[in-house]
Structure formats: C-alpha cells, structure tokens
Amino acid sequence: MRLSTFIQILLCLFLPFLSTAQHQSEEDIVVFQKDQWGSWNHEKSVNINEFGEPIQPQLPISILLKPSKIKIEKVAPFLSFSARWEDESLDAHKNAELWIRFSRDSLKWDSWKLVTASGHAESGQSVAVSALDFLPQQYRFYQVRIVTNKLKKGHALQRLQLNFFSPGNIKYETSSSQTNNIQSSTEVNNTCACPLPSFVNRVGWGNPQGANSVITGTPTITHMVVHHSAGSNVSTNWAAVVLSIYQFHITTSGFSDIGYNWLIAPDGTLFEGRRNNGQDVTGAHFCGFNAGTMGICMIGTYTSETITNEARNTLTRLLGWRACQSNIDPTTSSFHNSSNRILNHIAGHRDGCATECPGTQLYGQLNTIRTGVRDYLQGGCVVTSLPNYNLQQMVQIVPNPTQGGITQIIVNSPQRQSVQYRLITQEGQILYQSQREWIQGKWQRPIQALAKQASGWYYVQIFIGKEQITKLVVKP
C-alpha cells in the first residue's frame, strides 16, 4: 500500500473525531469541609474554634482565607466561576455569606464581590448555589471571605465548593448548512409545517456526554418556559458559554446533564440542550416542576435590557415549532400538573418559582412574544415583524480591550434615528449616560468616562431608536 493511500485511510477513520476535538477545557474545583477545618488555608478567623464551631453561638463567624492560585494552565476564551455552599441551618441563603475577589498577579486586587445565591438552582434549603459568573481570562488568583452563623443560632458552614472552569475555544458552524455539528430541521421528525430552526447540536458545543442526554423518556410538552442565563450578554464564543453552563449544572448544581432543553445566543444561534434521539427530555429548570415543560434559556441578562432582534426571531420560530408539534395555543393558559398552577403556555421562570428570571425586561415582552408566535403560526411560519438590520453588525467598540483606557463607540445606521449610550459596571451601576442624538450613517464617540475607571469589565448599553444592545468592554 502506498503511503498516500494509507494516510487517506487514516484521515477517513479519524477525521470525524478530530473535527469534534476543537478545544481543551480545564477545571479547578476547590472544596472546604468543616470537619477538615485544620487544613483550611485561613489567614484570619473570628469566633470559631479548632473544630469549625462558633465559640459564641450568638455571634457570627468570620473567616478570611489566604490568596490562592487558580490551578488552570491555560484559560480560553474566558474563566467561569460558581460556588456551592452547604449549611447546618435550613436556610443557607440567609445564614452564610460568601465574598470573593480576583487578581491577575496577586498584587493588585479587584474589589470584593458578594456571591449571591441563584434562583435557578434546584437544591434544598440547606444548600445554596451561586449564579454562573464570567471573568477575564487574565485572572489567576482569588481570595475568599466567609461570614456564617448570621442567624446567630450556632449553625456553621458545613461545606464550600468553588468551581473554576476554562471551556477552551470551540469552533462551531452558524450557517444553516449541514456539518458535523449543526443540524438542519429536516433531520428531526416534524408533524407540522413549521420547521425546527437549524441548531448547533450537543457535539457541536462540546458536550462530554455526546449526542444524547443520559436521561431517557420523551415527555408530553404542555408548557414552554423562558429563562435567561443571568450571565454576560456579549461573548466571542457562544458555544464556550453553553459548555460553561453545562459544566456549572453538572459540577456545581449537581444535575445529570445541562438543565435547559434549548439555549439561544444574542446573535440568534440556537443550541441543543438536553435531548435524546432528537426529542426533548425532561429538563432541570423549573424548581422541580419540570414534567410537561420545555425550557428555553436566552443567554444573557435581561433585567434592564431587551433581547436582540436575532434572538427574538429564533425564539419565535422555536416556540412556533413546538406549539405546532404539540398542538399548543401560544396565547392561552392551562393547568400544569407538576406545579399545580394555571400557567401561560409560554411562561416565564418566575411564574413557577421565587426568582427574577427571565429578567424584568424579557418577562415584560412575553405577551408580545406570545402574539408573535401566534402570528407566525397563522402567517405560514414566517417571521415578519422584526427589523431587517443587525444591531450586532451596526455597533462596534474599538479598540476592545482598550488602549490606555481609551476606546470609542462606532455606530453605522442605515436610517435616521436617535442614539444614546450608558457606561455601566458589572453590578449594574450607571457611571455615565450621554445625551440623545439623531444620526444617520456613521456616528463615532469616545467613551471618555471609561478613562477614569479602574481596570476591569464594563458594559456599554447603546439605545438605537426603539432597540438596544449591550457590549462588553475590557479595560486592562
């Protein structure tokens, strides 16, 4: 056999596997146990004895851990972080408080940040799970501060788990053509005219479990629940964000698979979540009342901003496909057996749980989305109500990261309309708000307020006509 022929055979055998090995993820999971208090790397502690118990039960315990290095060799394209803590009390959310700060070099530190419990977690009262946070890839060190026994009943923290994860850069296709990691609606058995939008499948975004969920069984879908991920609205790699959500659900939340059935990125890309042989399976997204539901996660935070036109377009087509498949009226409601509630057929996460999800702005849009899905079904499965321009392409922040703290907003508007912007911290604090201006064509302004701020991540929220978009800007 000639060498060239032998190489061709090897490529045919291994190319399918090589095409999916597009990234190398790394994780650093750090666990602190109460019964191993002596091994905790603590720098300072107040009101706690050698057994991890409060010396005075009526006073809080305070623990400051020494700075530690994140044990990940190469971070790309970002670092995700989450935490899980377990408490002796039946109210871990109120009895324990966790703070963390980060550093690139262990010399200059960011401000302390309170790690709050997430409403997405489906855990017991004695367990709290944080939201998933996304951090710059340059972070290498962290320091933790703990306050426990806040209820002053002598109950101490039992266990703390910190989860650091680098998903790696994932190459995935976003066109509608069939490739190894994107599936066309023609591959899924449809019983009505409205097709399932093309989507990046589980293999495409790097799910370690492969093509199908470990969960089996196909539920009868009666209600569709909309969520937001409560993370960043901007990313250079949405597949890496999805993989990070999967790892967060598995490692921190303790799920058997990613909790959502579908995820939609701000650029409109649809990602397959928990599925089995082409069918939705029961997810983990609705506070334990998951039977009969399909969970859709809109990636990003929609407390103070709306979803993009591209994301809303994909959501409309996805909801329309499922409504058509399952004979669901998108504008009405019915009794949901699992939650024992009457729910809208297109519901928000907060309709069944004590949470702000899917965010005030997105939740306020659900009536319009329900009507849009109805019109989509009645209009021959065509979305007609969305603008024909792409906000993501219209708006640029350059350079990003900034150079010397200086960067500019560039907007190219094809029509005359108003523009205004805000500079916002990661915590949502508005640092600057510009005056509203009328533009057409190219509009360019320096973000002067950013030069006065410390190094870190900031959001620039740009209002164009009746639409808005948020961009992440990094100041080294």
Q: DSSP letter string over 135-183? A: E-TT--EEEEEEEE-TTSSS--EEEEEEEEEE--------SSS--SSEE
Residue 113 corresponds to which amino acid?
Answer: K
Place of tokens 């060190």: 141
CA distance 41 to 33: 12
pLDDT at 123: 53
Candidates 236, 35, 245; CA nearest to 133 is 245
Which domains does the chain show, CATH number per domain? 26-166 (2.60.120), 182-378 (3.40.80.10), 391-475 (2.60.40.3080)
CA distance 359 to 300: 10
CA distance 39 to 266: 44
Rg (CA), the chain: 24
Q: Which two tokens stand for residue 144?
A: 């933790």
Place of tokens 């603590």: 42
pLDDT at 383: 67
- Residue 424 sits at φ, ψ, to 5 deg, of -130, 145
Torsion angle of the four alpha carbons 357, 358, 360, 363, in this order, in degrees rounded to the nearest 10: -130
Low-confidence ranges of the chain (pLDDT < 70): 1-23, 119-124, 174-191, 383-392, 426-428
Work out the number of other CB atoms within 10 angstroms of the CB of residue 395. 21
- Residue 97 sits at φ, ψ, to 5 deg, of -135, 135
Q: Which two tokens stand for residue 438?
A: 């009328």
pLDDT at 404: 80
Residue 397 corresponds to which amino acid?
Answer: I
> Are the beta carbons of 315 and 365 closer than 8 angstroms?
no
CA distance 471 to 366: 24
Q: DSSP letter string over 412-430? A: EEEEEEEEEEEEEETT--E
Candidates 138, 202, 124, 135; CA nearest to 163 is 135
Which residues, at least 6 apart from 312, have a Cβ–Cβ distance to it below 8 Å?
365, 369, 372, 386
CA distance 4 to 49: 71
pLDDT at 120: 60
Work out the number of other CB atoms within 10 angstroms of the CB of residue 388. 6
Which residues, at least 6 apart from 124, have a Cβ–Cβ distance to it below 8 Å?
none
Residue 135 CA: distances (Å) to CA of 166, 295, 336, 351, 457:
10, 26, 38, 30, 8
pLDDT at 385: 46
pLDDT at 119: 63
Candidates 293, 163, 277; CA nearest to 223 is 293
Packing angle, helices 360-378 and 309-326, rounded to 10: 60
> Are the beta carbons of 293 and 204 closer than 8 angstroms?
no
pLDDT at 272: 94
> Are the beta carbons of 305 and 233 closer than 8 angstroms?
yes
Residue 106 CA: distances (Å) to CA of 87, 103, 271:
30, 5, 37
CA distance 387 to 268: 14
pLDDT at 276: 78
